[in-house]
Amino acid sequence: MPSSELSTKEPTPQHPQGGSARFRISTDLRYRISGPSAFIFNISVAGGAHQHLIEESITASSGGGIRECPSGEREKRHHRLSAEAGDLQVSYSATVQLSHEHCADTDLPEIPPADLPPDAIAYLYPSRYCESDKLARMAMKEFGNLQPGFSRVTGICNWIYENVEYLRGSTNPLTSAFDTATERAGVCRDFAHLGIAFCRALAIPARFVSGYAYGLEPCDFHAYFEAFLGGNWYIFDATRLAPATGFIRVGTGRDAADTSFATIYGPVEFQWMAIKVEHLDGPEPVHTTDAITMG
């Protein structure tokens, strides 16, 4: 059984910041393949000022070798693999040091569209799962009178938390924010999509983040969103299922369409997966009402 492995080792920073903590991630994906197939994985930890990848390893139990290739977009990494019929196991593990930046001043303002940096403008527009155009009146009715800025986005998350039921199996990969706004049930990606759609409908740039989360029960991939406030991207998670300071970023995009953890071409059947996130050292992540950024 051929095996391909890529390992990266970087020196651990000697003096991690006061607030930084280290985590260990292990991911195991199993597939059954019945003919020539191609995979694009987006499961490896992204880089960033506040997220430091100390060590990682990715292996595939079969196929022509798993290799990283540029993703065409910043803050997202792709591994590709071609494989023949048979069983496939893809294993990823990493050690990451996180130092999310807290901002106790939660008066962060909204930036008028005319003053947004060019990079943020793409996150104002509707996308596959975040039809902000169709949610414009609803967003104005529900959130139009709230204090603009951090507290308005917090208000959006509170509304979602209170009005949408977290219910495994209630949605599928076709479900979008427009559906969830009315059907009122979903999982983490649906919560994130709805938060993003409401923000964009109010002219607040918002983007989707897929990642790992310490403290999620049961452990799984997680999804949350970021809103652009006061010149930076801040993390929001309407599910309240895990502390934002334990989020580890994998993919960033307009919505889940941009950050699928595996895009597969060919006759492939997903078998199962296992994910583990351990806290190695540093402060234990806890829920906070501070604004949190990894921007």
Q: For residues 55 and 183, which CB has a smaller minimum distance to a copy of itself in the complex? A: 183
Pick one of 5, 10, 105, 133: the residue that binds a copy of itself (CB under 8 A). 133
∠ CA 74-127-114, rounded to 5°: 75
Pick one of 134, 232, 282, 290: the residue that binds a copy of itself (CB under 8 A). 134
CB of 116 to a copy of itself, least distance (A): 9
Tokens of 5: 């492995």
Are 56 and 97 within 8 A, CB to CB?
Answer: no
Residue 68, interface with a copy of itself (CB under 8 A)? no
Pick one of 120, 206, 229, 277: the residue that binds a copy of itself (CB under 8 A). 120
The region that residue 245 occupies, defined by phi over 0 for left and psi between -120 and 50 for alpha, beta otherwise, is: alpha
Q: Which residue shows structure tokens 């949190």? A: 292
Q: Which residue shows structure tokens 């910043």? A: 74
CB of 244 to a copy of itself, least distance (A): 25
Segments in 68-149 forming alpha helices (H): 118-121, 136-143
- Residue 9 and residue 94: Cα distance in Å, rounded? 10
Footprint (CB under 8 A) of a copy of itself, residues 251-290: 254, 257-258, 260, 263, 265
- Of 286, 282, 278, nearest to 25 by C-alpha is 278
The region that residue 8 occupies, defined by phi over 0 for left and psi between -120 and 50 for alpha, beta otherwise, is: beta
Residue 44, interface with a copy of itself (CB under 8 A)? no
Pick one of 40, 85, 103, 262: the residue that binds a copy of itself (CB under 8 A). 40
Pick one of 6, 203, 262, 273: the residue that binds a copy of itself (CB under 8 A). 203
- The region of 23-31, 124-132, 220-228, 270-278 touching a copy of itself under the rule CB under 8 A is 124-132
- Residue 14 and residue 249: Cα distance in Å, rounded? 23
Q: For residues 2 and 70, which CB has a smaller minimum distance to a copy of itself in the complex? A: 70
Q: For residues 237 and 255, which CB has a smaller minimum distance to a copy of itself in the complex? A: 255
Q: What SS3 state is found at 266?
A: coil
Which is it for strands 21-33 and 262-265: parallel, antiparallel or unpaired?
A: unpaired
Residue 27, interface with a copy of itself (CB under 8 A)? no
- Contacting positions for a copy of itself (CB under 8 A): 38-40, 69-73, 78, 80-82, 112-114, 117-122, 124-128, 130-131, 133-135, 137-138, 141, 163, 165, 172-174, 178, 181-185, 203, 254, 257-258, 260, 263, 265
